[in-house]
Amino acid sequence: MKNKYVMINGLAFSEESDMEKLKNYAMEGWILEDIVGGFFYKLKKDKPQDIIYSLDYQNEANEEYFTIFKEAGWKSVISIGNQMHIFSAQANTKPIYSDSKTEIDKYIRIRNSSKKGMLYSLVIAIALICLSVVSLIHIKPVFLIIVGLLIIDIIAFIFNFMPYLAYNDKIKQIKKYGKCKSEAINSKSLWKIEGFLGVLFLTLGISDLISKKYCGILLIISGVININLSLDHYKKYKKSL
């Protein structure tokens, strides 16, 4: 087997652990080659290498940008959408960001980009909701099409909103502790998501039971499970601080 595909855990939430994972694979002879579909690392079989990886965010990166990293010992491996860039270097090479201020600037750039995408999605969602109300009254045949577009836009909003929260937490942690802890950020995000889903499922389940729809029991069970998972992640978050 010349290639191996490894799931990306979510760079906004587990950047450090993913870079550490890639380093460990490199020591086994599996070297990062590409990212496939936005969800998988593509690794190629080679000789074992003692290298480290680092992720940087830079919009419209130019030749000068990559030259600066090259002169510091960092080789460009992958660029995603000319915004996210993964570099590799020999072990013990000086980190790309060696002080808190420049690291905070790094996350501010990508946080602002996520915020912009989130606001665009929000504006589009409001417009689509208004259109769906109008279509339901006057042009019913296009109602389902608008609802479908709204669902797609909500997904796009979530994919911008969750990273925005993660980057914001990273900035706060660096300001407070001088470094960010991916494990804490990951646990914090998960307990919020699980808690939200738990409350949502419980509310829908109770509403169904009141309406004598006994499928609500399944929703209530799902809600309780999500709330328990949320509490577990909350405990992990507190321990990781």
Q: What is the pLDDT of residues 138-157, one digit of tens each?
A: 777 788 888 888 889 888 88
Give, as one character, the DSSP assignment of residue 168.
Answer: H
Alpha-carbon dihedral sign for residues 149, 206, 221, 163: positive
Tally the residues of the chain.
Answer: 241
Per-residue pLDDT for 123 more than 90? yes
* Lowest-pLDDT range of 8-12, 150-154, 234-238: 234-238
Give the pLDDT confidence score for residue 1 in this predicted structure: 59
Burial of 142 (0-12, 13-18, 19+ CB in 10 A): middle
pLDDT tens digits, residue range 168-225? Answer: 888 888 887 766 666 666 666 677 777 877 888 888 788 777 777 777 788 888 888 8
* Lowest-pLDDT range of 160-164, 204-208, 233-237: 233-237
The confidence band for 22, taking pLDDT boundaries of 50, 70 and 90, is: very high
Alpha-carbon dihedral sign for residues 179, 23, 94, 80: negative
Average pLDDT, the chain: 83
Per-residue pLDDT for 97 more than 70? yes
Per-residue pLDDT for 86 more than 70? yes
Q: Which of 159, 235, 154, 222 is nearest to 191 (CA)?
A: 235
Could you tell me if 117 and 156 are in contact, meaning their C-beta atoms sit under 8 angstroms apart?
A: yes
Give the pLDDT confidence score for residue 137 in this predicted structure: 77
Residue range 62-74: average pLDDT?
Answer: 88
Spell 16-33 as b/e; 16+ CB within 10 A means b.
eebbebbbebbeeebbbb
Provide the angle, in degrees to the nearest 10, between the axes of the packed helices 182-210 and 216-240.
160
What distance separates the 2 farthest-apart alpha carbons in the chain?
69
